[in-house]
Copies of this chain bind each other. A is one copy, B any other.
Amino acid sequence: MSLPNHFELLATDGHARTGRLTTRHGMVQTPSFLPVGTAGAMKGMHWREVRDAGADIVLGNTYHLMLRPGAERIAALGGLQQFTGWGGPMLTDSGGFQVMSLSELRKVNEHAVTFRSHIDGAKVELSPERSIEVQRLLGSDIAMQMDECVRLPAERSDIERAMQLSLRWGERSRRAFETAPPGYMLFGIAQGGDVPTLRHVSARGLVDIGFHGYAIGGLAVGEPQSVMLAMIDETAPALPHDRPRYLMGVGTPEDILEAVARGIDMFDCVMPTRNGRHGMAFTRFGQINLRNARHADDPRPLDEESSWPATRSYSRAYLSHLVRSGETLGAMLLSEINIAYYQQLMHDMRAAIANGTFEDFKNQTRAHWARGDIAER
């Protein structure tokens, strides 16, 4: 049985698409970049800054939230949107990916993953059904099926086993989601590593199960960008044209530009905030390392034409000083500067697609990045 569709495609330009997704907590414009608020908070940013920067949806990590403060506690406090004060749409991952990367002593079998919490060592079982239950308790607008993600390079047999397991878990996730009230969404996740035929099998399998939207998982896990883009080319056309497509855990501005060109609608990544904490700024001129000595005496802002106040007002010298001194304010400013840049990029892509000028926009943006930073003073 097909699930209701909350996605509306507004325009396409080549394979690129722009649309909107209606959630219980507000509208999401696509292509959309989801800032990652891991444990119910954006690192170094107030929620109002996330909103002001142009984000209309954020991601929360089920693994972190189920361990602390706990899904039942968040449910009792009105759900994640109210608990955090963000208020807007939230997508949660299934928790499976972080069980693999953060916990100890994990054991995967057909039924579930068993692991020890990285916080207190407690033994926890996460099944596809429990993952959905947790995401429902969190009040997630978009829940993700539990899957198994294989780091690349990997043996084809491992990739295939994990992909088939993910399909079976997808079916169980869909069944577990059936009692969710209308308006909440469940996305399936295509796996298949870097093997085109497995990607096709996975996509077809997911479509047979039927989800509100479809994610492409298992990319940005160690493979070159060319492989990632090739796998998008293999997978996206096999997904329903009228449903949202979400490329998980991606990526650089360039990754996102290229993936939008290939028909992707949604992205999430820690890169803008994580790199911000390490003194890197994403700008129209490409990525700028504020630890570079050339900035220490430079009174100019990162980009005087930016629409984001911190990007056009704070001097490179001041940002450089904050980064070198390890001041929290440096991480705070660079996180908002980077999130604002990502959101501006998404905004500009949406406008270009609506105008039918996406290819031009893409070429100009790449050319700008390639020219690099403004000349040293």
Contact = CB atoms under 8 A, between A and B. Distances in A.
A231 interface: no
A317 B45 contact: no
A40 B324 CA distance: 12
B317 A73 contact: yes
Interface residues of A, number: 37
Interface in A85-112: 85
A139 to B, nearest CB: 14
B297 A85 contact: no
A85 B314 contact: yes
Nearest to A43: B328
B68 A317 contact: no
Tallying the copies of this chain within the complex gives 2
Contact of A85 (B39, B68, B313): B313
A41 interface: yes
Contact of A318 (B40, B45, B64, B328): B40
Interface string A315-328: 10110111011011
Given A85-B314, A328-B331, A73 B41 contact: no
Interface of A: 39-46, 64, 68-69, 73, 76-78, 83-85, 296-297, 299, 313-315, 317-318, 320-322, 324-325, 327-332
Closest 3 CB pairs of A and B: A41-B329, A41-B327, A69-B321
